């Protein structure tokens, strides 16, 4: 039940005049379809766009890919046009982003893929998060004085977890895709081998990280011209080593990455530079298929990512708390609304510090944390007129006994399948270390463990013993690919990068759509807030009323107007058979590819 569906007025594209809405005649992209039991022709409803709104989504009928980079999104749409399904498109997009969006697209990272399968009318979660090497240990990043060595934790070969991306994408393709591995990988191989024009976004991103990338000879060779200069806008960038690696995967599947020559090149680099990943670590990596977490909010069903991500649990926790308030009466982004939203965030992030970790190593009380009875108890802790200082908030007692440079994309096909995928190298360009001869960067996901339990990680998140480093364990994540169902059918697919702000970004995206009836483009464009319990700071994007900020400060909220934006959603809304896509304008280069 959204603005798109309930528009009372329609602005004529030809006359630019406000007219009462009436469904126009069908266009070629939406032909009339015969009634199953009659000769009467039933018109396919046209998409409804309200041109009074400032932000308008892109509309498609048959398939759509919304992602952070144009060429990769079009690769995914190409798979859909060739008869592939959403999983084929998602996998092709993932491999293409490894070529065209190297700051976060990757082969040597990891992530989570949430899939709605139309045939079975069910959702499943593919966990291809990186894992700790067998030689990893609890105190591996502490020096002799017991202090954290951040250089080693963030920018060394030891910071790399065993990559999961290749295994995860191929697992999804083999089990749920319909096209061949060769078909799906061919566009990425061609982009790497033949090259593509460097965009403004890509040139800017490489230049911004140039100092650190140049510290690694293999990365310098990969990302800069032979004379050492940055590729300029419009230059053709070719990556023959990456084309070779992708060809190994195309020819031999997962074995082409986790065994054989690619694996050997990884382990040679590890042995030469004191890294921990061994041939056995690579060969032993396994994808885990998990049940998503799910909950309800005012008639919607929200399906999201389970541990080892904290994202889905905390989105549901916060929604459960907020469901007890009349948010519409408060008004969207009013001081009253933002105060209650902030206090709910603080409670959830406090719980994150104690309870969340890899469920294969720790008993995570998921069902207790997302229980609506627990939410009622948490709601009672909120003072509606005054902020509670973070130091006075401890993790709640359940009932009963991540980088700013992650990337997300969403896909929908004509069969009704939907994919919401988030994957990452952790920091921008990961560890900034490339494996010679492979054309790929290593992740630095070991920094997502609690290297020194009780202390904050790179994103300021305080983490406890549950997320300590252990061999084979997957580090806690904030990645939150999410699908919202209405009447049992996919209605919204969304997700975001942003490390610790992923959770609150996705939360506000779904609240804007579900609670405040916004179209997908408007929901993405509204200014956002973020509070993660510790540090005790309410981070606000620019765009909020000065009066609202004044009122929040009067309530005791520690407001900080952030010097950067929060998150970057790539989302699809599905209504009456039409696909409405929006890529977040907070970063350049995003693209909606549909047909």
Taking only the tens place, the pLDDT of each residue in 449-488 is 998 876 666 556 667 789 999 999 999 999 999 999 999 9
- Write the CA distances from 81 to 111, 150, 207, 237, 421, integer angstroms: 26, 46, 35, 27, 20
Average confidence (pLDDT) over 482-497: 98
- Cβ atoms of 78 and 95 within 8 Å: the answer is no
Q: Does CATH number 3.60.20.40 belong to domain 292-404+478-587?
A: yes
Q: Is 236 a catalytic residue?
A: no
DSSP 8-state symbol, 357: S
What is the domain partition of the chain in residue ranges? 1-52, 70-289+413-452, 292-404+478-587
Neighbours of 235 (CB within 10 A): 15
Tell me the pLDDT tens digit for each residue of 85-132: 999 999 999 999 999 999 999 999 999 999 999 999 999 999 999 999
Which of the following is catalytic: 406, 494, 504, 565?
406
**In this predicted structure, what is the pLDDT of residue 9?**
25
Mean pLDDT of the chain: 91
Q: Which residues, in sequence order, are CB contacts of 357 under 8 Å at separation 6+?
A: 307, 308, 364, 466, 467, 473, 476
Helix (H) / strand (E) element for 340: namely helix 335-355
Average confidence (pLDDT) over 54-82: 97
Tell me the pLDDT tens digit for each residue of 190-215: 999 999 999 999 999 999 999 999 99
What pTM, to 2 d.p., does this model score? 0.91
Nearest to 475 by CA among 171, 258, 159: 159
Residue 399: strand pairing partners: none
Tell me if residue 75 falls in helix, strand or coil.
helix
Tell me the pLDDT tens digit for each residue of 412-433: 999 999 999 999 999 999 999 9
Tell me if residue 417 falls in helix, strand or coil.
coil
- Cβ atoms of 154 and 193 within 8 Å: the answer is no
d(CA 508, CA 557): 19
- Write the CA distances from 461 to 189, 319, 350, 477, integer angstroms: 38, 21, 10, 11
């Amino acid at each position: 039940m959204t603005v798109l569906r309930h528009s009372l007025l329609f602005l004529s594209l030809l006359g630019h005049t406000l007219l009462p809405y009436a469904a126009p005649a069908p266009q070629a992209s939406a032909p009339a379809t015969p009634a199953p039991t009659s000769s009467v022709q039933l018109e396919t409803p046209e998409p409804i766009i309200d041109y009074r709104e400032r932000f308008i989504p892109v509309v498609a009928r048959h398939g759509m890919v919304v992602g952070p980079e144009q060429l990769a999104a079009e690769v995914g749409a190409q798979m859909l046009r060739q008869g592939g399904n959403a999983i084929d498109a998602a996998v092709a997009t993932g491999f293409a982003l490894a070529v065209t969006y190297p700051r976060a697209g990757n082969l040597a990272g990891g992530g989570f893929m949430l899939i709605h399968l139309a045939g079975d009318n069910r959702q499943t979660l593919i966990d291809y998060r990186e894992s700790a090497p067998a030689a990893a240990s609890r105190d591996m990043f502490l020096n002799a004085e017991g202090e954290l060595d951040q250089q080693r934790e963030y920018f060394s070969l030891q910071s790399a977890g065993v990559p999961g991306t290749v295994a995860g994408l191929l697992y999804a393709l083999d089990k749920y895709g319909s096209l061949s591995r060769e078909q799906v990988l061919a566009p990425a191989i061609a982009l790497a081998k033949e090259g593509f024009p460097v965009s403004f976004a890509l040139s800017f991103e490489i230049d911004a990280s140039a100092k650190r990338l140049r510290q690694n000879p293999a990365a310098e060779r990969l990302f800069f011209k032979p004379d050492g200069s940055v590729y300029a806008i419009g230059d053709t960038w070719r990556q023959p080593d990456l084309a070779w690696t992708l060809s190994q995967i195309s020819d031999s599947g997962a074995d082409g990455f986790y065994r054989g020559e690619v694996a050997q090149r990884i382990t040679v680099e590890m042995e030469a530079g004191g890294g921990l990943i061994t041939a056995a670590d690579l060969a032993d990596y396994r994808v885990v298929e998990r049940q998503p977490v799910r909950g309800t909010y005012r008639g919607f069903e929200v399906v999201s990512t389970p541990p080892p991500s904290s994202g889905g649990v905390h989105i549901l926790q916060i929604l459960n708390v907020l469901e007890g308030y009349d948010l519409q009466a408060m008004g969207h982004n009013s001081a009253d609304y933002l105060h209650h939203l902030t206090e709910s965030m603080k409670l959830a992030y406090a719980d994150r510090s104690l309870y969340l970790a890899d469920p294969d190593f720790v008993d995570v009380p998921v069902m207790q944390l997302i229980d609506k009875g627990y939410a009622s108890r948490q709601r009672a802790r909120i003072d509606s007129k005054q902020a509670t200082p973070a130091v006075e908030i401890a993790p709640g007692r359940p009932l009963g006994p991540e980088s700013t440079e992650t990337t997300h994309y969403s896909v929908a096909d004509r069969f009704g399948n939907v994919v919401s995928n988030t994957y990452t190298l952790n920091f921008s360009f990961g560890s900034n270390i490339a494996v010679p001869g492979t054309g790929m960067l290593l992740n630095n996901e070991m920094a997502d463990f609690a290297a020194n339990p009780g202390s904050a990680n790179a994103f300021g998140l305080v983490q406890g013993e549950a997320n300590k480093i252990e061999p084979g364990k997957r580090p806690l994540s904030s990645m939150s690919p999410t699908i919202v169902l209405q009447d049992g059918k996919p209605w919204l697919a969304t997700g975001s990068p942003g490390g610790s702000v992923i959770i609150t970004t996705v939360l506000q995206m779904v609240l804007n759509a579900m609670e405040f009836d916004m179209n997908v483009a408007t929901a993405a464009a509204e200014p956002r807030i973020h509070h993660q319990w510790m540090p005790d700071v309410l981070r606000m994007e620019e765009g909020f009323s000065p009066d609202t900020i004044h009122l929040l400060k009067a309530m005791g909220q520690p407001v900080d107007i952030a010097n950067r934006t929060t998150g970057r959603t790539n989302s699809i809304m599905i209504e009456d058979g039409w696909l409405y896509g929006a890529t977040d304008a907070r970063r350049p280069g995003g693209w909606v590819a549909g047909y």
